[in-house]
Amino acid sequence: MIKRSNTIEPPYSLLAELTHRCPLHCPYCSNPLEMALQESELSTEEWHRVLSEAADLGVVEVHFSGGEPLLRDDLENLIRHADSLEMYTNLITSGIGLTTEKAIRLRKAGLANVQISFQAADSKLSDIIGGYKAFEKKKEAVKSVKIAEMHLSLNVVLHQMNIDHLDEIIKLAEEMGAERLELANTQYYNWALLNRERLLPNKEQIERATEIYNEAKARLEKKMEIIWVIPDYYASTPKPCMGGWGAIGLTVAPDGVALPCPTAGMIKALSFENIRYSSLKSIWYDSAAFNRFRGDEWMPEPCLSCDLRHEDGGGCRCQAYALTGDAYATDPACRWAPKHHLIEEAIQETKSKSLIPISSQLIYRKYLSDKPKALKK
């Protein structure tokens, strides 16, 4: 249930995006198209302040993310600081650079959970999708997490190129001893929206995958938690994105910009404050951008008179903006949205196209002039 604006609760979680640098080039990356430069990244001292202010504000869990957070030399230091503030710590990583020695050091610093992304269940497809020879390194990283006795989650973004291999992906997670598997159907903003034609599965693929997920969830109930992020292009009503705008958690981008969700920076009509100049507390409670879509007063029709408005909050603001250019619009994923035809047209296009992936037609995520190196054309 989405919270009302007159009851702003403290944030529960912080997504600390330490850097946009990353060795992988995933074509569905949720990072912005224009990434924060290394020179603009927050310093160790600035991150300490963010973490301390977050703890004071009531945040109980921190997700260190990126880009690839292992590229920050001070990661261990930051984890130690978060742990000293009694916050639960999670590392969201590609796994590249996570040696056993490093994993043990991070564990000693207080790291509780590691979430490693996988692109597919085999190296050939995985390396094509990520634009980097990463698969075997990721398997080594999983072993390191196990040796260091940390909790292990896997995250797999699902799309046209890998969704038909869902049973193999689930088997891989089982074999690796993951306690949690997040099956995240692609959300189409930023890089994923650029690649939507190549990534959006068709209806039959989604139906088959949903069956496999339901069967696995029941079968593995006691062994592995499986999370299913809904394929909202095929849902009749939108997702309650982020549990509501500025309701549960916040993101701090590498350059210090504080956001109600990781992709909100794309909404150019809003001005987001930077923790270099404002406290986290004033940003959370008082900033215009965080208050903009709290509650339901801002909603247009049909949301304003819809019984579901406190369930989904009118859908995702980033998706509304990305597809219509208007962040106030009803999320087009909703069947009642005036611009729902935008979703229907995208689905229609998948029916007339081949599902065979052609890697050269993917637009790979790029950090500045960075190019995918491992791809063989």
Binding site for [4Fe-4S] cluster: what residues are annotated? 22, 26, 29
**Lookup: tokens for 180:** 């949690």
Helices 100-109 and 135-147: crossing angle, nearest 10°? 50
- Minimum CB separation of residue 348 from ligand FES in Å reads 24
Between residues 69 and 238, which has the closer beta carbon with respect to ligand SF4? 238
Q: Which does 11 bind (CB under 5 to 8 A by kind): ligand FES, ligand SF4, none?
A: none
Nearest one of 113, 133, 115 to 123, comparing CA atoms = 133
Alpha carbon of 352 to those of 202, 328, 348, 355: distances in Å? 10, 32, 7, 10
What is the rounded distance in angstroms from the CA atom of residue 193 to the CA atom of residue 179? 31
Residue list 289-328, contact with ligand SF4 (CB under 6 A) = 302-303, 306, 308-309, 312, 314-315
Q: Hey, what's the torsion of the CAs at 73, 78, 79, 85, to 10 degrees? A: 170
Q: Which residue shows structure tokens 């979430």?
A: 115
Residue from 318, 333, 343, 362 touching ligand FES (CB under 6 A): that is: 318
- Minimum CB separation of residue 300 from ligand SF4 in Å reads 9
Residue 4 near residue 295, CB atoms below 8 Å: yes
- Minimum CB separation of residue 249 from ligand SF4 in Å reads 21
Between residues 96 and 193, which has the closer beta carbon with respect to ligand FES? 193
Residue from 55, 82, 157, 264 touching ligand FES (CB under 6 A): that is: 264
61 three-class SS: strand
Residue list 220-259, contact with ligand FES (CB under 6 A) = 241-242, 245
Between residues 294 and 317, which has the closer beta carbon with respect to ligand FES? 317
Q: Per-residue x/- mask for ligand SF4, residues 223 to 242, rule CB under 6 A?
A: --------------xx----
Nearest one of 59, 98, 57 to 75, comparing CA atoms = 98
Residue from 75, 111, 150, 261 touching ligand FES (CB under 6 A): that is: 261
